[in-house]
Amino acid sequence: MAQQRLGIIMNGVTGRMGMNQHLIRSIVAIRAEGGVPLKNGDRVMPDPILVGRNAEKVAALAKAHGNLRWTTDLDKALQDKKDTLFFDAATTQLRAELLKRAMKAGKDIYCEKPVSDTLKDALDLVRAAKKAGIKHGVVQDKLFLPGLLKLKVLIDSGFFGKLLSVRGEFGYWVFEGDWQPAQRPSWNYKKAEGGGIILDMVCHWRYVLDNLFGDVESVTCLGATHIPKRVDESGKTYNADVDDAAYATFQLKGGVVAHINMSWVTRVRRDDLAVFHVDGTHGSAVAGLQKCWSQQRVNTPRPVWNPDVPQPIDFYDTWSEVPGLGSYDNGFKTQWEMFIRHLYDGVPFKWTLLEGAKGLQLVEAAHKSWKDRRWIDIPVLKV
């Protein structure tokens, strides 16, 4: 058994998502396990170099996790031929240009989504990657959540019969920043900085719907800015000029209807921060981030509408929890391992920059639907 080194330029890992999910829970965890095993018994050991603008911050992060390499000079990092993979989890608005620079330097690409802030730029990236002849992938983390993996087992087994509908509820109350600090950064609420819940979340819904329930064929969406003023990290009040909630309905291939509410201004009274309720002719299921519950046709209760008496049925008791198939690793880490095997073993990896572009296609259609107040069709995306 031999160990192979994978030099990774990791940009944007001083932010919350990049640091926690990609660096600590993925790359550092893979290193602690001795690398990613390949078909021939070799193991690939990631050797990251952390890139950031704040030298003190990136140096402290590198030291805290095993004295990793670090730099504030991205150009110099891109010139190092020993580091062959570029990863980006920084600002969406800068991503497309950074990815193009990395491609020109001959690097393979793995990145967060959205892959850009416009469909045009996203398609340009697909073309640039093809021209450069590099391998590329986009994070599609929610497909690897235990709750959705259990739901996928039900779908693949034919449990639902004919799929009818999907209802998704996502969100929680993000504090305004005055009497309690906000749990999300202020840029999320500024158009000039790439904010808005439609841009942030509809990319997720595209790959969840396409991969689990059927390709998205059309959308209607209503966005809203429910709280127009918030307080930023320095205590300064600012105008929130993008959507903090959106309500979207999707028509899927095969006739399935999906509706997803997404909101940073809702208080949670459900099983989890994200919940998907799926109905079919033979059964239904409800999946959260970790757990999934099902109800078969033969076990469906027979409620009768009578508003004059308390409801006699405890509807939660009529569902059964779906057991897991073994243990579930961190979803970000799982996809990192899959992409690394794609690089070294040639294992197929379907979540490419084109899949990332599909997310932007649906984002722009949702924005157009909101603006025009109508349904928008989603054609097959070709490059």
Say how many C-beta atoms besides its own lie within 10 A of residue 244's C-beta: 25
CATH code, 259: 3.30.360.10
CA 315 to CA 277: how far, in whole Å?
A: 14
Contacts of 323 (CB under 8 A, 6+ apart): 150
Assigned token pair, 317? 């008791």
For residues 220 and 375, the answer to whether their CB atoms sit within 8 Å is yes
Q: What local confidence, expressed as pLDDT, does residue 1 receive?
A: 73
Q: How far apart are CA 89 and CA 332, in angstroms?
A: 12
The two tokens of residue 342 are 């794609």
Q: Could you tell me if residue 350 is inside a domain?
A: no
Please state the rounded mean pLDDT for residues 188-205: 95
Number of Cα atoms under 13 Å in the Cβ half of residue 96: 19
SS3 per-residue string spanning 17-31 = HHHHHHHHHHHHHHH
184: nearest Cα among 263, 89, 105, 302: 263
How far, in Å, CA of 366 to CA of 374, rounded?
Answer: 10
- Cis omega before residue 114 (within 30°)? yes
pLDDT band at 279 (very low <50, low <70, confident <90, very high): very high
Residue 201 clears pLDDT 90, i.e. is over it: yes
**Which pLDDT score is estimated for 341?**
98
Q: How much is the average pLDDT of 8-22?
A: 94
The residue type of 25 is: R
Alpha helices for 234-352 (secondary structure H): 331-345
Residue found under tokens 């073994």: 326
Task: Name which of 290, 286, 264, 267 is nearest 275 in CA terms.
Answer: 286
Q: How many structural domains comprise the chain?
A: 1
202 pLDDT band, cuts 50/70/90, is: very high
Average pLDDT over residues 215-244: 97
Residue 1 included in any domain? no
The pLDDT tens digits of the residues spanning 117-142 come to 999 999 999 999 999 999 999 999 99
pLDDT of the residue at 248 = 98
User: If you search the block for the tokens 């690409």, which residue do you land on?
Assistant: 109
Q: Please indicate, yes or no, if residue 34 is contained in any of the structural domains.
A: no
The model's pLDDT over 86-97, given as tens digits with 9 standing for 90+, comes to 999 998 889 999
Q: What is the pTM of this model?
A: 0.95
Please write the tens of the pLDDT for every residue from 301-339: 999 999 999 999 999 999 999 998 888 999 999 999 999
Provide the 8-state DSSP code for 242. S
Supply 294's token pair: 């099902």
In a domain, 126, yes or no: no
Return the half-sphere exposure (C-beta side, CA atoms, 13 A cut-off) of residue 8.
Answer: 30
Domain assignment of residue 169, yes or no: yes
CA separation for the pair 156, 328 (Å, rounded)? 18
Residue 10 lies in a domain: no
pLDDT score, position 349:
97
Q: How far, in Å, CA of 211 to CA of 76, rounded? A: 38
For 285, left (φ over 0), alpha (ψ -120 to 50), or beta? Answer: beta
Residue-level pLDDT at 104: 97
Tell me the two tokens of residue 270. Answer: 């459900």
Length of the chain: 383
The label of the residue with tokens 């999300």 reads 184
What value does the mean pLDDT take over residues 215-220? 98
Distance between CA 170 and CA 62 in Å, rounded? Answer: 34
The confidence score (pLDDT) of residue 383 equals: 85
pLDDT digits (tens, 9 = 90+) for 58-96: 999 999 999 999 999 999 999 999 999 999 999 888 999
DSSP count for the chain of H helices, then E strands: 10, 18
- For the chain, give the percent of residues with pLDDT over 70: 100
Residues in CB range of 305: below 8 A, 6 or more apart: none
Q: Is residue 245 part of a domain?
A: yes
- Pairing label, strands 83-88, 237-239: unpaired
Task: Using DSSP bridges, classify how beta strands 43-51 and 69-71 pair: parallel, antiparallel or unpaired.
Answer: parallel
21 confidence band (pLDDT: 50, 70, 90): very high
In the prediction, which pLDDT does 331 show? 94
Calculate the average pLDDT of the chain: 96
Domain with 217 in it? 142-330+360-376
User: Is residue 148 one of the residues assigned to a domain?
Assistant: yes
Are the beta carbons of 267 and 284 closer than 8 angstroms? Answer: no
For 210-238, what is the mean pLDDT?
97
pLDDT category at 219 given cuts 50, 70, 90 is very high
